[in-house]
Every structure is written in C-alpha cells, then in structure tokens.
Amino acid sequence: MDILQQDIMYLTGVGPRRREILKKELGICTYRDLLEYYPYKYVDRTKVYHISELVPDMPFVQIKGHILSFEEFDMGRRKKRIVAHFTDGHGVCDLVWFNGTQYIYKNYFIGKEYVVFGKPSLYNQRFQFTHPDIDDASELQLNNMGMQPFYTTTEKMKKSGMTSHAVEKLTKTLIEKLATPLPETLPDFITQRLHLISRDEAMRKIHYPKSVEDTQRAQMRLKFEELFYVQLNILRYASDHRRKYRGYNFKTVGTQFNWFYSHNLPFELTNAQKRVMKEIRADMGSGRQMNRLLQGDVGSGKTLVALMSMLIAIDNGYQACLMAPTEILAEQHLQTKRLFAGYEHTHRAAHRHRKGQEAQRSNGRTHRRFHSHCCGNTRHYRR
C-alpha cells in the first residue's frame, strides 16, 4: 500500500478527534492531503534579536533568554491574563497568555532558557509577545531551522489547539516518516532541460526550506507540474472531443458574406482582422468543431469578426446566435447588428432566474436571424 494513501488518523499527533477536525475544516483525510497542504508564507528563523533591538511594527521575530517571574491579572468571570516577565540580558519584555493556565505553569519554568518566537507589540512602554511559540533552547538548533512555514487554519481549528504551529509539527512528522524518496512524476528530459528539482526535494523544501531560494525552486517545480498536467488534460479532452463529435462543414463563402463585405462594411479590415478571418474560415471548412478564443483590446474589432463568421454560417444554410453575458452588452451587440440592413434581428434577454423568460430555439424557418442571449445565473452571492 502507498504510504501516502494512509489515513491521517494514524499519523503521530493526530488521532480520531483531530482527524475529524482536519477532514471537516481543511479536507485533509490522508497523508497525501497533508503533504500537499502547502504553507502560505514563511518567516526567517535564523536570526535571534536582542530585546533592546525591538521596535514597533516589527514582523515575527525570535529572542532567546529566560523567565524571571509570573504574574496574574483578573479579567472577570473566572478569566485570567498570565504574564511572564522575560529577559535576555539586554532588556525585559512580557509574554502574555489569555488562556491555558495549567499548560503554561506545567511546561514553562522560571530560570530555564527558551527561544521565544512571535510578533512584538508595545504595551505600557514595554514590548510583549501574545501567545508566542516557545521552544526549549537546549533542544532547538536555530542555524538548522531556516524558514518557518505558516499554514492557513480556521477559527474552529484554533479553538481546538490546531494552530499553524500544530500543523507544522504534523507535516514535520510526516516528512520524517517518508524514508524513501517520493516517485518522480515528470520525465527527465523536462526536468533537466528546465532545471527543475525532483518532486521529492520540492515536497520537502516547500514545507521546510533553508532559504528563500529553496522556497522559490520548490514553488517553481510544483507550479510547473500542476499547470503541465492541467494542460495535458485539456489537450486530451480536446482530442477525445474531436474524435467523438464532428463539426459542420461550411464550404461556401457566399452572397451574404460578400454583399456585406462589399456594401455594408464602411472601412477596410485591419491586417489582424484579415488574418483571424482567414484562420476562422479554415476552421469552419475543416469539418471539425471550432473552439476559438479571440483576444484583443477594447475597440479592436472582435465583434465584427464574430458577425462576419456568422455570415459564413448563414451562407451555408445555418442559423447563427450571438450570446452575451449581460443584457447591456446584448443591447450593444444589437446596435452593432443594425449594420446588416434588411436582416431580421431577434433580441432576447434570457435570464434563467426569471421564470418564463428562458429563450427558446428558433423554429428554423429563416436562416437570417440573429439572437442576442443574455445568460443569467441563479447563484446569489453574499458577503
């Protein structure tokens, strides 16, 4: 059995209760899910500051020293604020907790040396760290820590003790458990030509990089892999679709197109419009379904190209439909279509969320009918 398919419950530090939290809040059910839950930012843990060096509005920093004493402040309704006075020999700051009294007194001791990591803030002319991460200085090798990862967690997770630091510990346990390298998913000729690191190295460095360069190389590898397989799936889908469904063959460029081009077009097409029309004409005559994105600046003539393509369909005995995402845009297209003197224009605004206004297909008695459909949506979004 692939170790990455193992249920997350069996990872040391998880268990049944945390498993349910991870599944419900983050969708993490297996080792693979946790391994692919990437940090959203990193903080440099290689530098240790003196308390005297702290200034307001600093980011996350770490200091090294020992606790001088504890102090408690009553906050009402049986709540207390616990303050530990901390020194590194260069100044004094406060470590503050608003809950977890028993845990604090059980795990942190006066006189013992700790490494404190958190965001300093100024309160009553003294710097304080609220709910900081604290590690035993004798067990922590700062020069090997590199960049500390931070993971997105929900409010419910935080109330259950599943903070970013807790997720970090779980990923560290998992990575240490992976004794053999992860299998490679990209061929050598791609990784070598693009100088991409291996998937195993990327997975380890994305969670525990030693430097900014490590994070960049890991992110590059994983982003490339994701987009590479997305593109492969798109190509596979397109290939299967072409084999399964044949398109109509528009063989003729007839009188409708030529009359419009000669009599109704008040200006000459740009070279780009001519080139695109030539490509579209080739697509429409190939017998394959055309799926084309026409990209251009505002006012570059994209709508005109679409209308001329519709005329090719009409010349071959078919109807044409121009769809717009909003009613306003549909109205604008209707005005554009009035260039077609003598043509029958049908303008329908089909909002799916308005009962009885869904557009119906034309009965086929005329090929010179243009429909502007405004496509509504039944979803409503709330802040």
Question: Tens digit of pLDDT for each residue in 374-383?
Answer: 554 444 433 3
Q: Which domain holds residue 123?
A: 47-141
| 326 has pLDDT over 50 | yes
The predicted structure's pLDDT at residue 329: 81
Residue scoring higher pLDDT (158 or 88)? 88
The predicted structure's pLDDT at residue 267: 82
Residue scoring higher pLDDT (155 or 224)? 224
Q: Are residues 274 and 362 in the same domain?
A: yes
Sheet (strand 92-97) strand order: 120-123, 126-130, 92-97, 80-87, 61-74, 113-118, 133-136
Q: Which of 30-39, 144-153, 208-217, 326-335 has the highest mean pLDDT?
A: 30-39
Q: Are residues 16 and 77 in the same domain?
A: no
Q: Residue 324 corresponds to which tokens in the numbers above? A: 């717009």
Task: Give yes or no for a contact between 209 and 215, defined as CB atoms under 8 angstroms apart.
Answer: yes
Q: Are residues 29 and 168 in the same domain?
A: yes
Rounded Cα–Cα distance for residues 224 and 208 (Å)? 20
Domain edge (last residue) among 86, 118, 141: 141
Instruction: For tokens 């740009």, name the residue.
Output: 270
Q: Are residues 122 and 170 in the same domain?
A: no
**pLDDT tens digit string along 186-226?**
999 999 999 999 999 999 999 999 888 999 999 999 999 99
The predicted structure's pLDDT at residue 52: 93
Total domain count, the chain: 4
Q: Are residues 6 and 120 in the same domain?
A: no
| 142 has pLDDT over 70 | no
Q: Are residues 291 and 323 in the same domain?
A: yes
Instruction: Please check whether residue 13 lies inside any domain of the structure.
Output: yes
Least confident of 82-86, 156-160, 241-245, 254-258: 241-245
Q: What CATH code is carried by the domain that includes residue 93? A: 2.40.50.140
Instruction: Please check whether residue 382 lies inside any domain of the structure.
Output: no
Q: What CATH code is carried by the domain that includes residue 310? A: 3.40.50.300
Q: What CATH code is carried by the domain that includes residue 171? A: 1.10.150
**pLDDT tens digit string along 76-128?**
777 889 999 999 999 999 999 988 788 899 999 999 999 999 999 999 889 99
Instruction: Please check whether residue 277 lies inside any domain of the structure.
Output: yes
Least confident of 230-244, 256-270, 349-363: 349-363
User: Considering only CA atoms, which of 312, 367, 365, 324 is closest in space to residue 343?
Assistant: 367
Percent of the chain with pLDDT over 90: 43
Instruction: Please check whether residue 323 lies inside any domain of the structure.
Output: yes
Instruction: Please check whether residue 109 lies inside any domain of the structure.
Output: yes
Residue scoring higher pLDDT (8 or 145)? 8
The predicted structure's pLDDT at residue 363: 53
HEC profile of the chain: CCHHHCEHHHCCCCHHHHHHHHHHHHCCCEHHHHHCCCCCEEEECCCCECHHHCCCCCCCEEEEEEEEEEEEEECCCCCEEEEEEEECCCCEEEEEECCCHHHHHHHCCECCEEEEEECEEEECCEEEEECCEEEECCCCCHHHCCEEEECCCCHHHHHCCCCHHHHHHHHHHHHHHCCCCCCCCCCHHHHHHCCCCCHHHHHHHHHCCCCHHHHHHHHHHHHHHHHHHHHHHHHHHHHHHHHHCCCCCCCCCCHHHHHHHHHHCCCCCCHHHHHHHHHHHHHHCCCCCCCCCCCCCCCCCHHHHHHHHHHHHHHCCCCEEEEECCHHHHHHHHHHHCCCCCCEEEEECCCCCCCCCCCCCCCCCCCCEEEEEECCCCCCCCC
Q: Are residues 259 and 343 in the same domain?
A: yes
Instruction: Please check whether residue 160 lies inside any domain of the structure.
Output: yes
Residue scoring higher pLDDT (216 or 372)? 216
Q: Are residues 11 and 96 in the same domain?
A: no
Q: Are residues 279 and 370 in the same domain?
A: yes
Domain edge (last residue) among 223, 244, 265: 244
pTM here is 0.61
Q: Are residues 210 and 358 in the same domain?
A: no
Average of per-residue pLDDT values in the chain: 84
Domain edge (last residue) among 154, 180, 206: 180
**pLDDT tens digit string along 269-313?**
889 999 999 999 988 888 878 878 888 888 888 888 988 898 898
Q: Are residues 30 and 149 in the same domain?
A: yes
Q: Are residues 99 and 126 in the same domain?
A: yes
